[in-house]
A and B are shown apart, each in its own frame.
Chain A
Amino acid sequence: MNNKLILNSKNFKHLLICAVFALASIIPAISFGQETEHKPEEKFNTKELIFEHIGDSHSWHVAIPFVKEISIPLPVILYTDKGVEVFSSAHFEHGHADYTGKYYTYRLIKDKVNIVGANNELLAGANLAKIHGTLIDFSITRNVISMWMTIALLLIIFISVSSAYKTRKGKAPKGLQSFLEPLIVFVRDDVAIPNIGVKYARYMPLLLTIFFFILINNLFGLLPVFPGAYNLTGNIAVTLTLAFIILLVINFSGNKYYWKHIFMPDIPWWLYIIMVPVEMIGIISKPFALMIRLFANITAGHIIVLSLISLIFIFNSLAIAPVSVIFVVFIDTIELLVAFLQAFIFTMLSALFIGAAVEEHHH
Chain B
Amino acid sequence: MIGAGLAVIGAGIGIGQIGGKAVEGIARQPEAASKIQINMIIAAALVEGVALFAVVVALL
Contact = CB atoms under 8 A, between A and B. Distances in A.
**Same complex origin of A and B:** yes
Interface of A: 190, 289, 292-293, 295-297, 300, 341-342, 344-345, 348
Contacts of B48: 293, 297
B45 A296 contact: no
Counting chain B CB atoms within 10 Å of each CB, which of A297, A342, A345, A348 scores highest? A345
Contacts of A190: 38
A295 B56 contact: yes
Given A289-B49, A292-B49, A293-B49, A345 B55 contact: no
B52 A293 contact: yes
B41 interface: yes
| Residue in A190, A296, A341 whose Cβ sees the most chain B Cβ within 10 Å | A296
Contacts of A289: 49-50, 53
Listed residue (A190, A293, A297) with the most chain B CB atoms within 10 angstroms of its CB? A293
B12 to A, nearest CB: 15
Contacts of A297: 48, 52
B55 A341 contact: no
B9 interface: no
Contacts of B49: 289, 292-293, 296
Majority SS of interface residues in chain A?
A: helix
B42 interface: yes
Interface size of B as a range: 10 to 19
Given A289-B53, A296-B52, A297-B52, 17 more contacts: A292-B49, A292-B56, A293-B45, A293-B49, A293-B52, A295-B56, A296-B53, A296-B55, A297-B48, A300-B52, A341-B41, A341-B45, A342-B45, A345-B41, A345-B42, A345-B45, A348-B42
Contacts of A344: 41
5 contacts: A292-B56, A293-B45, A296-B55, A341-B45, A344-B41
B25 to A, nearest CB: 19
Contacts of A341: 41, 45
A344 B46 CA distance: 12
A65 B56 CA distance: 34
Contacts of B38: 190
Contacts of B53: 289, 292, 296
B38 to A, nearest CB: 7
A297 B41 CA distance: 14
Interface in B1-60: 38, 41-42, 45, 48-50, 52-53, 55-56
Indicate the member of B42, B52, B55 with the most A CB atoms within 10 Å. B52
A300 B41 contact: no
Contacts of A296: 49, 52-53, 55-56
A279 to B, nearest CB: 18
Contacts of A348: 42
Shortest beta-carbon contacts, A-B, top 9:
A296-B52, A293-B49, A345-B45, A296-B56, A289-B49, A292-B53, A292-B56, A296-B55, A293-B52
Nearest to B51: A296
A300 B51 CA distance: 12
Nearest to A293: B49
Q: B41, B45, B50: which has the most chain A beta carbons within 10 Å?
A: B45
A361 to B, nearest CB: 26
Contacts of B56: 292, 295-296
B8 to A, nearest CB: 10
Nearest to B52: A296
Contacts of A342: 45
A295 B53 CA distance: 10
A102 B54 CA distance: 45
